[in-house]
Chain A
Amino acid sequence: MTHSLHREGPLDLLNREYVLFVYPARGFNYDGSGPKAKRLVEMLFQQGPANLLVTTLRRNMYSGISQEEILNSIKDGAKIFCVLEDREKIKDTLVKIKEMDEGISIVISGVIDRVREVSAELGLNPHTVNLSLGIHGRTDRLPPADLRQFTTMCGHGMVSPWLIRDVIRRVKTGKLDLREASLIAAAPCTCGIFNPCRSVEMLKDLVPLYTVNRL
């Protein structure tokens, strides 16, 4: 999941997006981590995540499954991937995680300056940072940046640039609204960190710029 590092998009939207991972460590706190993960997921559902997935089910919130199915799938070793849309939400979530004190590694992927501020406000001492040094090689072969801001929300690359073009076309032709289009785009993401709320904002800006063939 190193991929959450490479999320692209407008800085003002990245500034208010926090990806949260709960990650048990193999051989260290893996055994017995299931009930802890379950308690954390129950708490995260109360926070109103923009998206969430547990790795024991590998289906995100928008793939037609219920919260119960997600909770029931959790067992030892389950990792939780989640997106929270707002600074106060991440702060409140971290306060709760600190109180729950489950002892499982918590990782926040976000704009480093914002995470620094939140950590300072909560008296947390982050341990390790993973920095992205960008894309290298034949960058001319990449999909255009306006589509990458959607496709890189799924770091495994499961959200196709053609799907983004397709939902733009369907929005422009009145077949979908922005939210519906964003949920369709979010569905293939198997890491559960495609943020449909950010997608709505970005589509709002992008849709007028595209032309479509109605034939």
Chain B
Amino acid sequence: MLIRKDLCVGCGRCQPYCPVGAIHFEELKSIVDQEVCYECGTCLRSEICPVEAIEESPYVYEYPRALRKFFSDPNATHALTGIAGRGTEESKTNDVINRVVPGEVGVAIEFGRPTLGMDLTNIQKVTRAMAKAGITEIEPENPFNDVIQNHTTGDLKPELMGEKVLSAIMEFKVKRDQLGHVLRTIKQAAREVDSVFVVDVYTRLEPGLTVPKEVIEVIEAEGYTRRPNAKINMGLGRANKRKDA
């Protein structure tokens, strides 16, 4: 994003809207620090500027800078996958798709969330650790595939190393008996990064909204604490359109 110096009246109203604090005063005008900006577009969408001085940068869709846009602006549709957002449908459509079946667990590592974002150099520390732990395949429709150079080593594309994203989600699934190993690896990798990520796991439920005991035991054994809130697929979807049939 950029703020046109010739138009800006220096009111500063746009500054609190930036989620990462990239806008500041310089010579009584607001300017966007291009290094800090994630190209999320929040300042522009807020329509807070009284003189319409906020604009998209002309080079925002140029590679590799475009990565910031695709992984930081929720309104941007990823150029290669055609999917808006950071990840796939994961648990949300599992009642229709059966992406994760009993005996399997879906895992997501949401880099940069909440709020801070993460640069690709730090993300690579985690992808390399995961590859070393045997996670060499991620969800095929996940836009994150687009940043990976080598799935076997977890190396990301070298030309992206100077870039950063507000959120990128690495999604994969494992057999239940692999979950402990995976969670242990994630915990170790968390010590190496200079930002934050959130971790979530999804699994098929047993009757009465009961989380399988084996999953809970592994989560607790690896020293993770579950939040009291969860996302629950209510089992009301289906693949065939009965009403239209």
Asked if A2 and B46 make an inter-chain contact with CB atoms under 8 angstroms apart, the answer reads no
Nearest Cβ in chain B — how far from A5, in angstroms? Answer: 5
Nearest Cβ in chain A — how far from B68, in angstroms? Answer: 13
A83 to B38, CA, bound (A): 27
Asked if B92 and A105 make an inter-chain contact with CB atoms under 8 angstroms apart, the answer reads yes
- Residue B214 at the chain A interface, CB threshold 8 Å: no
A42 to B90, CA, bound (A): 26
Interface bits B96-124 vs A (CB < 8 Å: 1, else 0): 11001000001010101111110000000
Interface bits B227-245 vs A (CB < 8 Å: 1, else 0): 1111111111111111110
- Residue A23 at the chain B interface, CB threshold 8 Å: yes
- Residue A3 at the chain B interface, CB threshold 8 Å: yes
| B187 partner residues in chain A, CB cutoff 8 A | 136
Q: Which of B167-207 contact A (CB under 8 A)?
A: 167, 169, 183, 186-187, 190, 193-205, 207
Q: Which of B4-37 contact A (CB under 8 A)?
A: 15-21
Asked if A112 and B167 make an inter-chain contact with CB atoms under 8 angstroms apart, the answer reads no
Asked if B16 and A129 make an inter-chain contact with CB atoms under 8 angstroms apart, the answer reads no
Answer whether A129 and B110 are a contact pair too, CB < 8 Å, given A137-B193, A148-B115, A188-B46: no
Asked if A151 and B232 make an inter-chain contact with CB atoms under 8 angstroms apart, the answer reads no
A141 to B244, CA, bound (A): 52
| A119 partner residues in chain B, CB cutoff 8 A | 209, 232, 234
- Residue A110 at the chain B interface, CB threshold 8 Å: yes
Answer whether A133 and B219 are a contact pair too, CB < 8 Å, given A141-B196, A190-B45: yes
User: Could you write out 28 A-B pairs with CB less than 8 Å apart?
Assistant: A1-B92, A2-B200, A5-B198, A5-B227, A6-B227, A24-B93, A55-B84, A103-B237, A104-B236, A105-B237, A107-B92, A128-B202, A128-B235, A130-B90, A130-B201, A130-B230, A131-B230, A132-B227, A133-B183, A133-B224, A133-B227, A134-B225, A136-B198, A137-B197, A151-B19, A157-B114, A157-B167, A158-B74
Asked if B231 and A129 make an inter-chain contact with CB atoms under 8 angstroms apart, the answer reads yes
Asked if B234 and A124 make an inter-chain contact with CB atoms under 8 angstroms apart, the answer reads yes
| A116 partner residues in chain B, CB cutoff 8 A | 208-209
Asked if B243 and A138 make an inter-chain contact with CB atoms under 8 angstroms apart, the answer reads no
Residues of A within 8 A of B (CB): 1-7, 11, 14, 21, 23-26, 28-29, 32, 55, 58, 94, 97-98, 101-113, 115-116, 119-120, 124-139, 141-143, 148, 151-152, 155-163, 165-166, 187-188, 190-191
- Residue B155 at the chain A interface, CB threshold 8 Å: no
Partner of B199, one of A25, A55, A110, A134: A134
- Residue B211 at the chain A interface, CB threshold 8 Å: yes
Nearest Cβ in chain B — how far from A57, in angstroms? Answer: 10
- Residue B136 at the chain A interface, CB threshold 8 Å: no
Answer whether A132 and B114 are a contact pair too, CB < 8 Å, given A6-B198, A25-B97, A29-B239: no
Asked if A25 and B89 make an inter-chain contact with CB atoms under 8 angstroms apart, the answer reads yes
A187 to B203, CA, bound (A): 33
Answer whether A107 and B242 are a contact pair too, CB < 8 Å, given A130-B202, A188-B45: no
Asked if A162 and B115 make an inter-chain contact with CB atoms under 8 angstroms apart, the answer reads no
Nearest Cβ in chain B — how far from A193, in angstroms? Answer: 11
Extra contacts, 12 of them, besides A23-B92, A23-B237, A156-B74 (Cβ < 8 A), are A2-B108, A3-B113, A21-B92, A32-B241, A102-B243, A128-B95, A128-B205, A128-B232, A132-B198, A160-B42, A161-B19, A190-B74
Asked if B110 and A3 make an inter-chain contact with CB atoms under 8 angstroms apart, the answer reads yes
A55 to B203, CA, bound (A): 26
Asked if A25 and B243 make an inter-chain contact with CB atoms under 8 angstroms apart, the answer reads no
A112 to B75, CA, bound (A): 29
Partner of B205, one of A26, A108, A126: A126
